[in-house]
Amino acid sequence: MSACWPALPDDACTACTARTACTAAEPEGGPHTRRGELVGRATERGRIAALLAAARSGRGGALVVTGEPGVGKTRLAAEALAAAAGADMITVRGRAATVGSPVPYRPLVEALLRLARAGLLPDPDELGGYGPVLSRLLGDPRDGTGPGTGPGAASPIMVAETVLRLLAVVGGQRGCLLVLDDLHDADAGTLAVVEYLLDHIGHQPAALLLVAGHGPCAAADLAARARRRGDAEVLDLRPLSRPDVHLLVATELGIAPADVCPELVERAVAGSAGVPFVVKELVHDLAGGPAPDATCMPPVPSTVADDVRRRAGKLGPLGAEFLGTAALFGQRFPLPVLEHAIGRDHGELSAILRAAVASCLITPDGTGTQWYAFRYQVAAEALLDGLGPGERAGYARRAVHALTALHPGLPGAWCAHAARLHEHAGDTREAARLYGEAAGRAMREGSVERAVVLLARAHRHLGPDTAPEVRATVLEQLLDAVACSARFDLLPAPDSVPDTLDGDGDGGHEQDGAGVAGGEHAVPARRRAALHARLSDIAALRGRPAEALRHLETARKLLGSHPTDDHATLVDIAGARVELSRPAPDRLRTAARLTHRALDTAQRAGLPDRACTALLLLGQLARERDGLLAAAHFGQARTIALAHRLPVHRMSAEVHLAVAAASLDGRPERVEQTRQEALRMGLRPLAHEAGFVLALERIRRCEFEAARDRIREGAADAERRGLAGSLAVLRLADAVRCAHQGRRADMEEALERLAPLVDAAPGVRAMSYGLARAFCSLLEERHDAAGQEFAQALAYDAENPATGGFGKHGVILLLGVLAGRMGRRHYAEAAGAGVGGIRWNHQFTGLAHAVLLGREGRSDEATAAAGKALEAAAPYPMARRLCLRLAARAAYEDGWGTPVEWLREAEEYFHGAGLRAVAGASRALLRGMGASVRQRRTGTEQVPPELRRCGITVREFEVARLVAERIANKDIAGRLHISPRTVEKHVSSLLQKTGHPNRRAFASATRDLVPQGVPTGQA
């Protein structure tokens, strides 16, 4: 991605035209800030528009724009100037000096000079007795004054009245806008003039827009007085919201918001706190560069760094030391530790604190005074970058001594703070130790994302003299955290992992994806085997089966003759996952055998974490075969995790239990709750697994837009993180979404996107046929094609068993029973599998049971079984109607159920969904049963659903509305311009279709269905 800054037109800064003295203003933040579309200021722009409209009508007014540096005050003023110029108003702008000695009335003089350059300045004679004041303001040589001395000779009152009259003359009939910027730097005379203008502008065709900073100054006091008196409205600009930051990033890049790299948005939001100037500069520096590294932030944009350091420099030497020490802690810092480190008490630092807060560099963090925070993250980074090496080390040593003195033992989060300070002090060994300890605490608390970042920092600081056992421990923890979080970007680089961590002693030398290189025996071979097992798991997660197999083979070779060692549990679990990532008919059985062996070993060795891992994997392997057994495994894992305080394993069990429960009751709310919890913990692969389940559930419920959004969001994250398996199933879900809407072309396109990923998730081949292609064919009434596609799904499943459902125990059974290929034995197998009771499957298996009962002449039992099946189908609109359409013929022929009502319901649904083939097939079946079939004509949607299901046509509904009003046939004929004989036929048809004995009964029963007093259609 590369930055694409909007170019200004050639005349963007040509201020002098026939109608305006200034139509453009330099954006706030300096010449490097690029002016694009204004984002997130709709309310403020509305107030400005009202101010300008009032000025054009002769009712002057004033707005004061305030806010912290970089928030967009000057940018908003530029927008006001452009809006005024667009309304044919005179616009003029002046700015107070920000450098050099103060110049009396500088912003006013600048505004007058702009008018003069544009040829809009009136002749002094037009101002009467105030003409000489104007001349002195401009340093007219004829008066013997120069620019530097002229203004000083005029009193503020005379200058103010001169400017007021000038605005009246210049504004004329079109109105005038005067913008005075940076008034926090203005001299006292200018502020006196502004106060006079605020008092008297109301009767002039002019508007004042005054811009001032947030800090305590005379301009701020003036604005407060004006607001109290009602002379001006104050617009205090707030930072942008997250959606507005996202939109601003997209605007600066010239691309759609959906195309913006999420990491870029995250960095912009976190680094800027919503300050537009900082957002733009961050985008300019980050766009096109590598993704931000959580362990090493990218450089701060020079413009932002200069601005922060300039404001910090105004606080003096003590302020610079205070802020420099604070920056060592990151964005948040503890005030008591800083006071102890600097050797000053709170009273001595209170003036520095007030000044730093007033300059918008820091802000209190929370209700107390113990913690403060930098206004935005890059402010801390800029101050830190500005410290010299010796200065930074000195500050850090004093800070870490203060921290350990105030918090002995470094409890809680203090451990990570101390690690950071040791890192800044150059004590990398102690930094690595403390980072590792802090990461362990984070993992125990369930903060996986934080733990992996801390472990990556710890690993980065391991020196060549670090003991091999310590290296191995840190690397094990890091690989475990990476596998949980999918932070593959934090895997060690090849040159950062010492040779002594790997090698099998036979002289072989191997380089793998995580940078573990071959070498001497530094740690026991069994421990190195466990490291390779972890690397195998990570490779499998990334969809790299060949790499996963290589690591597994190395692990097994290193394990050698110690198959019962506790490290063997990891090797067996890795072996099971490798089996799941490769196509083989016996892969599920082999994976289950290895996992059971790992579970036995873990239980004998007393390893609760590995026992949980094995149980979770066994539950996933059993889910498609036996839902109750799978739930038992998940429940046992949850119990162990709770007993031993293993938050990651507990969360995994919670997600899988929620999925299992939702499959039975059809309620996905708990799955969404656990998915959100997994995301908060940083467990991305687990969250994606839950997201796939939720996407399928939304598809089955025909919530197609919600499913699309979930799939796109999840697929983008999975692709960005390199989770090939998660990406594969989410792309499969997208194909299923299109198939369940009968959109074959879109389904085929989605399957093409899936094709390169099938090796990363072997089971998706069977699912792509059973869940997508075959369903689409059923909606197209291509039953032969659907049968072939289901057969292909079964063939793929035989070659490479899927761990997810694809209709094997549901729709395939129903179709087989209807076709006569399957019977009682097949139904018993499906029902006994434990997954036939899944709610989605039960609608199909239940109807298959009903069909079999009907063939056996047990019509009452068949009707009851169908009722239970259709009750299970209630959450699934499309599948329910498809079941009705499929089972109707058998029900009609064997005399059970209500096939005519079923087909009418199905026809109505499929017609409304635009699925013409299956809707037409439903109509054809109705005709074959001798049932009336309503015509499809314009206005069908006006017929209430209850009447449409009875077969009421549009013309009959027009008659029904008048019958419901108890209007006689003759009058109905007159209103509809048809013959009384035709009305009689329609009334007779209405009574027959609805089952009412007479007109009165029909009118009473349909009073709430048929709108009263609605004009009828034409003949």
Q: Does the pLDDT at position 492 exceed 70? A: yes
Contact 129, 213 (CB under 8 A): no
Q: Does the pLDDT at position 519 exceed 60? A: no
366-398 pLDDT per residue, tens: 777 789 999 988 899 999 999 999 999 999 999
The Cα–Cα gap between 563 and 601 comes to: 9
842-870 pLDDT per residue, tens: 999 999 999 999 999 999 999 999 999 99
User: What pLDDT, on a 0 to 100 scale, did the predictor assign at position 936?
Assistant: 66
Contact 359, 377 (CB under 8 A): no
**What's the average model confidence in pLDDT over 414-440?**
93
Q: Does the pLDDT at position 1012 exceed 60? A: no
Task: Assign 742 a pLDDT band (cuts: 50, 70, 90).
Answer: very high
User: What pLDDT, on a 0 to 100 scale, did the predictor assign at position 595?
Assistant: 95
Task: Assign 326 a pLDDT band (cuts: 50, 70, 90).
Answer: very high
Q: Does the pLDDT at position 10 exceed 80? A: no
Buried b (16+ CB within 10 A) or exposed e, 903-921: bbbbbbbbbebebeebbeb
- Where is pLDDT greater, at 837 or 881? 881
| Percent of the chain whose predicted confidence (pLDDT) is above 70 | 87
Reference 273, options 337, 199, 360; nearest CA is 360
154-167 pLDDT per residue, tens: 688 888 888 888 88
Q: Of the spans 113-127, 276-290, 476-490, 505-519, which averages the highest pLDDT?
A: 476-490
Per-residue DSSP letters for 402-469?
Answer: HHHHHSTT--TTHHHHHHHHHHHHT-HHHHHHHHHHHHHHHHHHT-HHHHHHHHHHHHHT--TTS-HH
User: What pLDDT, on a 0 to 100 scale, did the predictor assign at position 151?
Assistant: 46
Q: Does the pLDDT at position 939 exceed 80? A: no
Task: Assign 143 a pLDDT band (cuts: 50, 70, 90).
Answer: very low
- Where is pLDDT greater, at 882 or 512? 882
User: What pLDDT, on a 0 to 100 scale, did the predictor assign at position 494?
Assistant: 56
- The token pair at 667 is 């309620």
Q: Does the pLDDT at position 520 exceed 60? A: no
- The token pair at 642 is 């709770």
The strand order across the sheet containing 90-95 reads 90-95, 176-181, 206-211, 61-66, 233-236
756-807 pLDDT per residue, tens: 998 888 788 889 999 999 999 999 999 999 999 999 999 888 887 766 777 7
**What's the average model confidence in pLDDT over 691-707?**
94
User: What pLDDT, on a 0 to 100 scale, did the predictor assign at position 25?
Assistant: 36
Query: Which residue bears the tokens 């969360």?
Result: 651
Contact 91, 85 (CB under 8 A): yes
User: What pLDDT, on a 0 to 100 scale, did the predictor assign at position 948?
Assistant: 78
- The token pair at 304 is 């932002």
Contact 720, 746 (CB under 8 A): no
User: What pLDDT, on a 0 to 100 scale, did the predictor assign at position 585?
Assistant: 83
3-state secondary structure 646-686: CHHHHHHHHHHHHHHHHHHHCCCHHHHHHHHHHHHHCCHHH
Region of poorest pLDDT, from 53-57, 221-225, 475-479:
221-225
User: What pLDDT, on a 0 to 100 scale, did the predictor assign at position 93?
Assistant: 93
pTM for the structure as a whole:
0.74
- Where is pLDDT greater, at 703 or 346? 703
Give the type of residue at 1: M
- The token pair at 210 is 């005054």
263-310 pLDDT per residue, tens: 788 888 888 889 999 998 888 877 655 554 444 556 788 888 999 999
User: What pLDDT, on a 0 to 100 scale, did the predictor assign at position 296?
Assistant: 53
Contact 841, 873 (CB under 8 A): no
User: What pLDDT, on a 0 to 100 scale, did the predictor assign at position 154?
Assistant: 66
Q: Does the pLDDT at position 146 exceed 80? A: no
User: What pLDDT, on a 0 to 100 scale, did the predictor assign at position 21?
Assistant: 46
Region of poorest pLDDT, from 110-124, 301-315, 430-444, 628-642:
110-124
